[in-house]
Amino acid sequence: MQNISLIAFYGDKPAPLASLIQKLQTYLANHQLLQDKFIPYQLNQVHGTIIGCEGWKTDLGVVNQWFKEKRQETKYIDFAGLINYLQHQINLSITIRFGGYDRNTNYNFLSRDRHLYHRSVQLQSVDNNTIPVLIGWSWQDHDVTLAIDNLRRELQRFNLLHKYHAIPDDIDNDFYLRLGTINAKLTSAEIEAISTDLCNWLKTQHPLYISITLNDLAFAQYQDLTLTPATTQIFPVAEITANQLKQFG
């Protein structure tokens, strides 16, 4: 297997984003329902995933895992085309808005059929743990755009399929950052209560607008899905070559 993801904001972050992450981590650490069960990720470890580039190495190239698993198609990743697109053709920057979503405002976009206020912080059950996730959406001219979904879709040109694009009409415009791990499998009522508290707190904050530029993008070669710094190698998109990317794994 080749475990590679195209990510944003791993390592150094804009100061306002770093501050928001730390405030949410502190809020979780002090929440009465968690009782020291929340283990925050290191600040430099927190990141947003653009698309997974996982696959199997073969003599003919790297077979994209998600085209194979989601659509039963064998597609070999076009690394040269991918690097050329990211370094010279991609339309950046993309502005992401975090927080400040009012449940009474119609943003003309739903995330997984839910209002953005309700989706701005999510708690996701994974095995026996729970993962808190901060979610933002691409934003321009006072409105949500589909820039993140469109970018993920555009990368199909290079035989990369976003794992949440199982069928052609699927939309995933969420830009999400995992904040840490809650070492407990929470009940539905606990998840709802904590999520509501977090969303209510985030609603009171001024919207945070953060731009994704070429210098914020990197490929991560990882051994675990949390991208633990000690076992993760980071290669800035602005500097990497196609041959270097092919050698991963």
Query: How many independent structural domains does the chain possess?
Result: 1
Integer CA distances (angstroms), 51 to 28, 122, 249, in order: 27, 19, 17
For the whole prediction, is pTM greater than 0.85?
yes
Ramachandran angles phi, psi of 185, nearest 5°: -95, 100
Structure tokens belonging to residue 144: 């949500």
**Mean of per-residue pLDDT scores for the chain:** 94
Q: Give per-residue pLDDT as tens, 63-99.
A: 999 999 999 999 999 999 999 999 999 989 999 999 9
Of all residues in the chain, the percent with pLDDT exceeding 90 is 92
Domain region containing 18: 4-246
pLDDT at 249 over 70: no
Structure tokens belonging to residue 143: 């409105």
DSSP annotation of 2 reads: B
